[in-house]
Structure 1
Amino acid sequence: MAIYRTLDPARIPEHVAIIMDGNGRWAGKRLLKRFFGHKQGAESVQFVVETATRINLPWLTLYAFSIENNLRRPKSEVNFLMKLLKSYLVSNLKRMNDNNVRMNYIGRLTELPAEVRESMQWAQEQTAKNTGTTLTLALNYGSRSEIVDSCRAILRDAIAAGKTGEELLNAINEETIGPRLYTGQMPDPDLLVRTSGEMRISNFLLWQIAYSEIFVTPRLWPDFRGVHLLEAIAAYQGRERRYGGLGDSTTDEEALQGTAAEA
C-alpha cells in the first residue's frame, strides 16, 4: 500500500474509534437481504483489525451493536447479529492471537444472550496476555446510558461512604465521571471514523470524543478495507489538534480578530 509509506509512524493515533455504518444499504443496492450486508461487514472488521496491528495502533474501538439496534431492529435480525458475533469470535480467535490482538468489550453486556456472553468471555480470556492492538467491540452500547450508569455508580459509592446532601452533588464531576465510564481504563479516541457518509454521531462515545478529530467517508462499511483506515489516519496526520485552544500557527492578531468577530 503506497499510502502506508506516507504515514508518520511517530504520529499514529493512540486510539481510533469507528462507527461501522452501511451494511443494510450495501445489501439493498445489490437486492440482497440485510443479513448479507452484516456478513460482509464482518469481513471488513478483520481487514481493518489486521491493518491496525501492522501499524501498531494501540486501541481500536468498533461500534458493533447499539442499544437502539437491540430495541428497534426486527428480532430475526438481532438474533442473526448475535450468531454472527459468536461465529466471528470463535472462527477468528487463532488469527487474533497470531496478530497479538487483545479482545475487550463495552456496553450493557449483561443484557446480551448468555451464550453470546460466554463466547465473549472465552475470547477475552484467550487473548488476555496479548500486548498488541486492543480491539474493543461496543455491544448493546449507548453513550447516554453509559453516562447515566457512570453517575449512578458514583452516587452508589458516595452513599455507601455515608455522604449526603451537598457531598453527594460534589461527588459528580468531570474527574469522577470519566473513570467510571465503560471506557474508564482506555484513552479517549484521537480519531473518530464514520462510514456511509452520514453526518451524525449516533449516540457513540459522546463524552470521550469531546476533542477527537472526525473523518467521514461515503464508503459503506462492507466496502471498507485496511487501506481506507490508512487514508483516515493520513487525513488525521494532516490536521492540527487544538483541544479547544488556538492552533500553533494562529497569530495574536488573528486571535483578536476572531474574538472581535464573535462579539
Structure 2
Amino acid sequence: MLYKLYTRRLRRQLKDLPLPQHVAIVMDGNRRWARNAGYDDARIGHRFGAKHLEQFLQWCADADIRCVTAWVASADNLRKRDSAEVDYLMELTETVLADHVRRDHRWRLHVAGQLDLLPDSTAHALKEAVELTRDRGDAGELTLAIGYSGRLEVVDAIRAVLDEAAANGRSMDEVADGLTEEDISRHLYVPGLPEPELVIRTSGELRMSDFMLWQGTRSDIEFCDLYWPAFREVDLLRALRTYGRRRLKRSR
C-alpha cells in the first residue's frame, strides 16, 4: 500500500516537470543479481532481466515516454563471455524480446549494433520483428542495442560517409572540407531518432562503457545502485523527477 501511494505521489510530481522524449537504459547487473538471489546459474539473471524489460516498457508508456533505447549486449559481451551464456542470451533475445515487440503494438522496433556478430536465427528474429512493426503508425520507438559499440558505430558511420562520397565521385579533399556532424548522424545505426535526454545505468557502475557516445554527449545521466532485475517503477519515476528538476532549473 505504501509503495502504491508513493508511486502515485511521484506521478503527481511529474505533471509540472519537463520529461525526456527519449530515455536510454543500460540494463546492467543481471548476473550479480542472480548470485545475490542465491541462484547458481547466472543465466537465470538474464531471463529475469529480459522479462523485466517488458515491465520497463510498460512504465515508460505510462509516463508517456515515446522513445526508448535498451542496451541488451555489447560487442565485447558477445566476443568475450562464455559461449553457453551468450547462446542463452541470444535465445532470450529471440523468444522474449523479439516476441514481446511483435505482441506489444505500442512500439516500433529498431536494432542498433553489428548483426553479423549474432547467430543467424537471432538476426533473423530481430529483422523479422523490425519489418512486422515498421508500419505501426502511432507507435513509440524502441531500439534494442545488441552487438553494440558506441565507438564502432561512429567508425561505421564515417565509413558509410566515405562510401557514399566515393559512389558519388567526390574526392577525399571534398569530403574532408565538407564533413559535418549531420553527415555522421544520418549514418548512425538508427538515424532520425531524437538523441536521448536521459540515460539510466543500473548496478552501481559509474561509467558509460561505450554506450551511445555520439548521441549521449548532451544527455543527463542517472546512476542507480540496484541491479537491473530489481529496478522498480519508483526508480524510473525518481530518475524522471531528477531530470525534470534539473531541466527546469537550467531553463530559469
TM-score, normalised with respect to structure 1: 0.86
Q: State which of 114, 121, 129 in structure 2 corresponds to 1:123.
A: 129
Cα drift, residue 208 of structure 1: 0.6
Note if contact 1:155-1:171 (Cα within 8 Å) is conserved in structure 2: no
Note if contact 1:14-1:57 (Cα within 8 Å) is conserved in structure 2: yes
Mapping for residues 1-263 of structure 1, pairs under 5 Å: 1-2=7-8, 3-8=10-15, 11-32=18-39, 33-89=41-97, 91-93=99-101, 95-97=103-105, 100-130=106-136, 131-240=138-247, 247-249=250-252
Note if contact 2:18-2:247 (Cα within 8 Å) is conserved in structure 1: no
Instruction: State the alpha-carbon separation in 1 of the partners of residues 199 and 206 from structure 2.
Output: 12
Note if contact 2:110-2:190 (Cα within 8 Å) is conserved in structure 1: no
* Moved >6 Å (runs of 4+): none
**Partner deviation per Cα, 1:42-86 (whole Å, 9 max, x = no partner):** 121011001111122110000101101011101111100000111
Identity %: 35
Rg bigger for which structure? 1
**Structure 1 pair 160–41 and aligned structure 2 pair: CA distance change class (3 A):** same
TM-score, normalised with respect to structure 2: 0.90
Instruction: State the alpha-carbon separation in 1 of the partners of residues 115 and 49 from structure 2.
Output: 21
1:139 aligned partner, one-letter code: I
2:69 aligned partner, one-letter code: T
Cα drift, residue 121 of structure 1: 2.1
Instruction: State the alpha-carbon separation in 1 of the partners of residues 191 and 101 from structure 2.
Output: 25
**Structure 1 pair 149–241 and aligned structure 2 pair: CA distance change class (3 A):** farther
- Stretches of structure 2 that go unaligned for 5 or more consecutive residues are 1-6
Cα drift, residue 155 of structure 1: 0.6
**Partner deviation per Cα, 1:126-169 (whole Å, 9 max, x = no partner):** 32233232111001000000000000000111112222242132
Instruction: State the alpha-carbon separation in 1 of the partners of residues 35 and 79 from structure 2.
Output: 22
Instruction: State the alpha-carbon separation in 1 of the partners of residues 242 and 139 from structure 2.
Output: 23
Cα drift, residue 123 of structure 1: 1.9
RMSD: 1.9
- Count of paired positions: 243
Note if contact 2:114-2:148 (Cα within 8 Å) is conserved in structure 1: yes
